[in-house]
A and B are shown apart, each in its own frame.
Chain A
Amino acid sequence: MSGLSQALWVLLLGSLLGLELIGKVPPTLHTPLMSGANAISGITMLASLTLISRAGENPALLALGAASLAFALFNVVGGFLVTDRMLAMFSRKSSNRTSSNRKPRVER
């Protein structure tokens, strides 16, 4: 039972932390923030890995775990990269602002 009560404390404190972490968000960042938070929710890949580790020799369970891992990693890898792509545009812009030369660079 102590395991459960600990887990519930963790749930409660984690939720409170999440409520506090995000306060005022400028509209510019709504999309990247959503996308970044979305990538973090792909942390469920830990559960996929745990499932695989407990699967033993059961092929169906191994396959299910691997499928779950694939979905989660799609979310994680895609999510972080896409967020970075969006945010890279903002940082490129601010570095342009400091330099007087505003030639468009051809990066992508």
Chain B
Amino acid sequence: MTLSTALAWAIDLLAVLLLALGLKGLSKVRSARSANGLAALAMGLAVLGLLIQQPLSAVAWLWIVIGSAVGGLAGLVMARRVPMTAMPETVALFNGCGGMASLLVALGVALFGAGEAGLVEGISIVISVFVGAITFTGSLVAMGKLQGWIDTPGWTQSQVRHGVNIALAVAALVGAFSLPADPAGAGLWLLLLAASLLGIGVTLPIGGADMPVVISLLNSYSGVAAAAAGFVVGSPLLIVAGAMVGAAGLILTQVMCTAMNRSLLNVLFGGALGGGGGGPVGGGGDEAGYTRITSCSAEECALALENAERVVFVPGYGLAVAQAQHALRELAKLLEANGTEVTYAIHPVAGRMPGHMNVLLAEADVPYEQLVEMDAINPEFPRTDVVIVLGANDVVNPDAKTDSSSPLYGMPVLEVDQARQVFVVKRSLGAGYAGIKNALFELPQTAMVFGDAKVVLNGLASELRDLGFGKKTAA
């Protein structure tokens, strides 16, 4: 064993250790940021260890520099530019590219025989191509759905989709089994095509509300793809790291499912919420179903706020879309200056992703202690004067507690219907992500304020200033 090999081994071991510590630290608030840096450092070490071990020709270096520059710069620009609201789809995009990378490695080895031609390598190539392709197309579909580029086509909600997906899976298997005879033949392309379509086929029917779970699961897949690529090129470090991320991603997916009161199987095979539960999509109804809606102006809402002692804001995706977090903070400051108690009720899955609202409000410098989680705030609603729901829908639907026929039944919700007065700021009466009617909107204490969250909040703030708020310095 040469000195450089020994050194490379030591670096590899250190890298694995740091990766594990990084992953662990990421699950605790206090250590999360340094843990992220630790994991990045570990990644750098792993690359260093590899470069020490493998002598590279000049032409290889050239291609490495080109690839690194393109990918690294694109990642840098993307990470800097992307708005916080688009975080979930950004993670999906990154994830899909990770899957693509594993897929390309396996393709290269298969097409050009750049590895050993054993059974293990063959199986690893199949897994790498299969999982990598599903991760890539699935992540892109997830991203498209979150961005609103892709709708849920009707046929994907019928049983037909299971037939289509099973056919695709069989096609992929056929391709895989023809590989030992001809590693770079038509079977490889059949496998690639079928797996890519399968990624689309399984992601497309899933409703937007469940997308975070899907992205988390696809994240786990990209770990599996990386581990498979580790078998393909014979890198133990890659196998450990890939397996670790694959398993951790699975746990995280489970944790998210629990937070949303959904089972993973239901998310994957139940179709969009509303179509689930075995019955036809009859019970939900659509936006035409509302009969007792009261709508009001910003002025009326401001009057209610003026007299309120305790106000709770319930942020949702509408707030994120309208980029209204700063407007919200301004309004809250006015209220606080007047002695009103202001808190924010955070539902674990409000927005498009768990933790979405925390990130958004943190950006507007909302004090941490004013963000109250669901279990802590629910007992407080009966003594709350005014609740303002900002572009949230399903997470405040009282049917989840009372109506056992509702598709949402059983999901923990914010019990805003217990408050004295509820204002719902919303662009229209359109259904939420679950696609069902919200009984809250028809309650006598509820009034709708139609409009973009930012416009409405700015309007409220100026109404309050007209009422003399913000001029007194009393606290």
Residues on A with C-beta less than 8 A from B231 are: 7, 11
Question: How many A-B residue pairs lie within 8 Å, measured between CB atoms?
Answer: 404
Interface centre among A4, A23, A61, A82 (most CB of B within 10 A): A82
A71 to B68, CA, bound (A): 9
Q: List 14 A-B contacts (CB under 8 A).
A: A7-B236, A17-B20, A18-B223, A27-B349, A36-B35, A39-B40, A41-B241, A49-B50, A54-B114, A60-B111, A64-B104, A70-B70, A76-B75, A82-B94
Residue interface mask B19-52, A partner, CB < 8 A = 1: 1101110111100110111011001001100110
Is B64 in contact with A52, judged by CB distance below 8 angstroms? yes
**Which of B's residues lie within 8 Å of A, judged by CB?**
19-20, 22-24, 26-29, 32-33, 35-37, 39-40, 43, 46-47, 50-51, 54-57, 59-60, 63-64, 66-68, 70-72, 74-76, 78-80, 82, 84, 87-88, 90-91, 94-95, 97-98, 100-102, 104-105, 107-109, 111-112, 114-115, 120, 212, 215-216, 219, 222-223, 225-227, 229-252, 255-256, 259, 346, 348-349, 353-356, 358-359, 362-363, 365, 367-369, 373
Residues on B with C-beta less than 8 A from A37 are: 23, 26, 219, 223, 245, 248-249, 252
A104 to B330, CA, bound (A): 12
A36 to B245, CA, bound (A): 10
A20 to B416, CA, bound (A): 37
| A50-B235 CB under 8 A given contacts A11-B227, A61-B114 | yes
**Which of A's residues lie within 8 Å of B, judged by CB?**
3-4, 6-7, 10-19, 21-58, 60-94, 96-97, 102, 104
Is A22 in contact with B39, judged by CB distance below 8 angstroms? no
Given contacts A18-B23, A36-B23, A40-B19, could you give 4 more A-B pairs where the C-beta distance is less than 8 Å?
A: A31-B359, A79-B75, A82-B79, A92-B362
Residues on B with C-beta less than 8 A from A14 are: 227, 239-244, 247
Shortest Cβ distance from residue B104 to the other chain A in the assembled complex, whole angstroms: 4
Residues on A with C-beta less than 8 A from B233 are: 46-47, 50-51
* Chain B residue at smallest Cβ distance from A42: B98
* Chain B residue at smallest Cβ distance from A16: B247
| A28-B355 CB under 8 A given contacts A21-B20, A34-B216, A73-B68 | yes
Residues on A with C-beta less than 8 A from B236 are: 6-7, 10
Residues on B with C-beta less than 8 A from A88 are: 33
Is A48 in contact with B355, judged by CB distance below 8 angstroms? no
* Chain B residue at smallest Cβ distance from A87: B33
Dominant SS among interface residues on chain B: helix
Shortest Cβ distance from residue A101 to the other chain B in the assembled complex, whole angstroms: 12
Return the 7 tightest CB-CB contacts between A and B, nearest first: A18-B247, A14-B243, A73-B71, A78-B75, A77-B75, A30-B354, A69-B67
| A44-B120 CB under 8 A given contacts A7-B239, A74-B94 | no
Residues on B with C-beta less than 8 A from A47 are: 101-102, 105, 226, 229-230, 232-233, 235, 238
A85 to B36, CA, bound (A): 11
Shortest Cβ distance from residue B253 to the other chain A in the assembled complex, whole angstroms: 9
Is B32 in contact with A32, judged by CB distance below 8 angstroms? yes
* Chain A residue at smallest Cβ distance from B73: A77
